[in-house]
Amino acid sequence: MKKYSFIFMFCVSLITLAQNKPNILIIHTDDLGYHDLSFTGSQLYNTPSIDKLASESVAFTNAYSSYPRCTPSRYGMMTGTYPVNENKGWLGNIPEEKNLIKQFGNAGYHSIYIGKWHLGEGDSTPKNFGFDESYAAGRSGGVGSRFYPFNTQLNGKPAKEPVENLEEDGKEGDYASDLLTNRLLEFITNRPKDQPFLAVLAFYAVHTPIEAKPEDEARNKEQLKSIDFGDTPEYIKEGEGRRKMRQDDPAYAGMVENVDENVARILKTLKAAGIDKNTIIVFSSDHGGLSNDGNKNERHLATTNNPLKAGKGHLYEGGIRVPLFIKWDSKLKPRVENESIVLGMDVFPTLLDLATNHTVSGIDGKSYKKVLEGKDNWKDRTVYWISQKARPHSTGDSKAAVVRSGDFKLIQFLDTNKVELYNLKKDISEAHDLSVSNPEKTKELLGLLESWKKAYLIPEKTKILKPKGKGKKNNKNKNKKNKN
């Protein structure tokens, strides 16, 4: 009897330990710019629920995506590495000891990925990568329409890469972001009660197509009448195209506000379940807002990142600076962290450290647990970006590499070898190039960038291919141009 009593108590102890670990919820948006929230300065986009969440969090002002486009930035976040491959890479090639999601599984977490995955199929699906469940999370980069039927575009043509699950669960009048949120709320309600959970809700919003609910668009049309843009032009010439300079699209505003409404539903459900105090909530975006087009056509530009320069696709601040805030009641004191420099590739290493006190070696991302706790400061950190797959035709950007070290940021344009240097603390708009007036700092940062490129732009990092005979379909898809 003593033996069985011991086993019973041991099992109870394991369950208790699991329940004491925090739940983790990541709310990840698509194409949401740094200034696309009312608390970060938008006059049109009303986001009271997100604003409140930010006020209860550690909110970063120097947070960045790891790349200015969808797929590589998500790859960097999921793997904790610099996305120098600039593609899906091969998630199946990552050893278990470096697979951050599997580390959560080893620590007893039950996990789900909902929404935009965009990182391949086969052994690169969410479930094969380590998540226990997934929903609407295939290789597709976006919905054909925000309204049911989701896999049919407004012109009546079928979407090139249909989103799974949504259409079979939807009905006339349903809106995509609402259905994704419904699935998360169902997961929270029916979760295994003896396990902590890790959930990622990756909205397909606010990526194109720009479609809002009629009532939301109508409300924002009225609000626009009271906004005075002064002498701010609607567009300016920039790069290979133009940059939008006003937040004046009522449909885009409605999309942002729908995300906010769904965040309110999520917070209410967490509170009703009695787990809001022990759930770490992360809110962020994959890169900057779509504000720029290129030299082939004039796109429907969604927003402006002004006063940040440029937007999606560019390595200026508008393309890579993102909103990021992390809430954990009673554990993290709410504040604005306006100095430390953090990247998307740091998110999962940080959460793993916060929740399990476990770290993963051999990756580029780092845990900023001590920064969150107010015990460390990363204002002098040095970080890098590279974009060798520019899209001058669609977003107007050029091939470039970037280093940021402390307050200074250097951009090297790869086709011309031209460099620009900015002091971001004094010049957030990157309007004053210091490369000529400060040759010492230019030389120092250019040396750092060249050393990083020599270490990282090597075949084993930039050409992540599958073994022969495996994933032929995936490799074919990987070589297609990604239109996100």
Confidence bin at 4 (pLDDT 50/70/90): very low
What are the angstrom distances between the C-alpha of 404 and each of 5, 49, 226, 422, 462? Answer: 58, 32, 39, 9, 21
- Local structure of 88: helix, strand or coil: coil
CA dist., res. 432 & res. 88, Å (int) = 35
CA dist., res. 431 & res. 256, Å (int) = 28
pTM recorded for the entire structure: 0.93
The reported pLDDT for the residue numbered 242 is 97
Q: Please name the helix (run of DSSP H) or strand (run of DSSP E) that holds residue 218, with its range, or none.
A: helix 214-224
Confidence bin at 19 (pLDDT 50/70/90): low
Report all structural domains of the chain as residue ranges with CATH numbers, in order of start.
Answer: 22-381 (3.40.720.10)
pLDDT digits (tens, 9 = 90+) for 324-357: 999 999 899 999 999 999 999 999 999 999 999 9
CA dist., res. 62 & res. 52, Å (int) = 20
What are the angstrom distances between the C-alpha of 188 and each of 232, 296, 331? Answer: 45, 46, 21
pLDDT digits (tens, 9 = 90+) for 373-417: 999 999 999 999 999 999 999 999 999 999 999 999 999 999 999
- Residue 189 pLDDT > 60: yes
Region 458-472 average pLDDT: 69
Mean pLDDT, the chain, rounded, equals 93
- Is residue 312 within 8 A of residue 208, CB to CB? The reply is no
